[in-house]
């Protein structure tokens, strides 16, 4: 080997090593479907890829949490709607009882007893071990009609609110639905509309209904029952508004997640057509380099002479 050909030979050897490395990487990329095994393999796009992956994780977490809360709110919405139906139906029963005048209305008190127990069961619903109407005391049933402080309503009218049946707290729950969006959600069982319904049923269940009904008590119950029937749909609407906020947030998340997934795929996943084309070109270059190296090694002073 001549000294004058040594530099060219070394250069050719370096090129061969680089080509062999690129060919190995392309083979791995084609086999695994991933552009590079390390971020250094896509150094120009690595920072962008890391940011996109972090965004994807955060958005996925937001979406999952929003979905869980929406499931709870769906149960609350259904149960609050049932309370509204009870209030509306019982109001009709009360009107009939009051219109009977001084005639006995036995049965209305028993109906009220059954309905107040039903209301208690509706409010004590739990989802995944969480009581929904207890505020932040999710491990405590919100309604206890046997609480010693929950007394028979006095005979003075208008009556006063009594939430001694309530075992939860007044904490309003909230969820961070997006980076800059917090949504307050939920209803507690001491909500004024719910309290009025329970007081209506409590008044009637403890009323004298025969032989002469206590019309003053029944009329007070009717007044409260009408307010409860009018206000409970607003409670349901408030729950629906929170659900709509979560739905809107998740719709935005879904679009952004789709974009990030597509972009991450473009950056991280192998474009097979491009990779095969580059691999073929590198293999051709490698064959040419081997041929050039062989030719340089065949040149000697003896051959010249």
- pLDDT at residue 29 in the model: 56
User: Helix, strand, coil: what percent of the chain each, to 5?
Assistant: 65, 5, 25
What pLDDT, in 10s, does the model give residues 239-269?
999 999 999 999 999 999 998 888 877 675 5
Query: By C-alpha distance, which of 173, 149, 167, 152 is closest to 242?
Result: 173
pLDDT band at 49 (very low <50, low <70, confident <90, very high): confident
Residues 59 and 172: their CA atoms lie apart, in Å, by 24
What pLDDT, in 10s, does the model give residues 158-205?
999 999 999 999 998 999 999 899 999 989 999 999 999 999 999 999
- Tokens representing residue 153 in the block: 């309503």
Q: How many CB atoms lie within 10 A of CB 168?
A: 21
Sign of the alpha-carbon torsion through 201, 91, 223, 156 = negative
Backbone torsions φ then ψ of 40, nearest 5 degrees: -65, -20
Highest-confidence segment of 39-43, 188-192, 267-271, 299-303? 188-192
What pLDDT, in 10s, does the model give residues 83-140?
999 999 999 999 988 887 766 677 899 999 999 999 999 999 999 999 999 999 999 9
Q: Tell me the β-bridge partners of 185.
A: 173
Q: Which residues contact 39 (CB under 8 A, 6 or more apart)?
A: 46, 49, 50
Query: By C-alpha distance, which of 224, 203, 190, 107 is closest to 151?
Result: 203
Residues 100 and 3: their CA atoms lie apart, in Å, by 124
pTM strictly above 0.75: no
Residues 257 and 55: their CA atoms lie apart, in Å, by 8
Q: What is the 3-state secondary structure (H, E, C) of 139-157?
A: CCCCECCCCCCCCCCCCCC
Q: How far is CA 47 from the centre of its chain?
A: 29
Residues 95 and 304: their CA atoms lie apart, in Å, by 124
pLDDT band at 9 (very low <50, low <70, confident <90, very high): low
Residue 273 pLDDT more than 70? no
Place of tokens 């990487």: 25
Residues 234 and 192: their CA atoms lie apart, in Å, by 11
Residue 274 pLDDT more than 60? no
Q: What is the 3-state secondary structure (H, E, C) of 227-283?
A: HHHHHHHHHHHHHHHHHHHHHHHHHHHHHHHHHHHHHHHHHHECCHHHHHHHHHHHH
- pLDDT at residue 107 in the model: 87
- Give the mean pLDDT of the chain: 83
Angle between helices 192-205 and 46-99 (to 10 degrees): 30
Cβ 220 vs Cβ 159: under 8 Å: yes
Nearest 5°: the CA angle 220, 153, 124 is 100
């Amino acid at each position: 080997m001549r000294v004058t050909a040594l530099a060219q030979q070394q250069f050719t050897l370096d090129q061969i090593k680089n080509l062999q490395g690129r060919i190995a990487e392309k083979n791995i990329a084609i086999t695994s479907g991933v552009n590079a095994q390390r971020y250094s393999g896509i150094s120009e796009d690595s920072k962008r890829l890391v940011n996109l992956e972090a965004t994807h994780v955060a958005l996925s977490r937001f979406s999952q949490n929003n979905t869980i809360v929406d499931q709870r709110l769906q149960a609350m919405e259904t149960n609050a709607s049932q309370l509204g139906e009870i209030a509306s139906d019982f109001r009709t029963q009360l009107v009939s009882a009051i219109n009977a005048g001084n005639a006995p209305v036995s049965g209305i008190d028993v109906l009220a007893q059954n309905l107040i127990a039903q209301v208690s069961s509706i409010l004590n619903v739990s989802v995944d071990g969480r009581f929904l109407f207890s505020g932040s005391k999710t491990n405590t049933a919100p309604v206890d009609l046997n609480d010693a402080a929950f007394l028979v309503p006095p005979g003075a009218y208008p009556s006063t609110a009594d939430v001694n049946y309530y075992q939860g707290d007044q904490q309003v729950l909230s969820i961070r639905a997006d980076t800059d969006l917090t949504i307050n959600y939920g209803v507690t069982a001491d909500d004024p509309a719910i309290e009025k319904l329970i007081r209506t049923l409590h008044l009637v269940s403890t009323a004298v209904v025969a032989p002469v009904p206590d019309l003053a008590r029944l009329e007070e119950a009717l007044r409260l029952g009408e307010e409860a029937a009018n206000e409970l749909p607003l409670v349901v609407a408030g729950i629906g508004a929170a659900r709509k906020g979560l739905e809107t947030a998740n719709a935005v998340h879904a679009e952004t997640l789709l974009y990030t997934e597509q972009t991450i795929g473009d950056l991280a996943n192998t474009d097979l057509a491009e990779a095969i084309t580059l691999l073929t070109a590198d293999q051709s270059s490698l064959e040419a380099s081997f041929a050039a190296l062989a030719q340089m090694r065949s040149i000697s002073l003896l051959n010249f002479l």
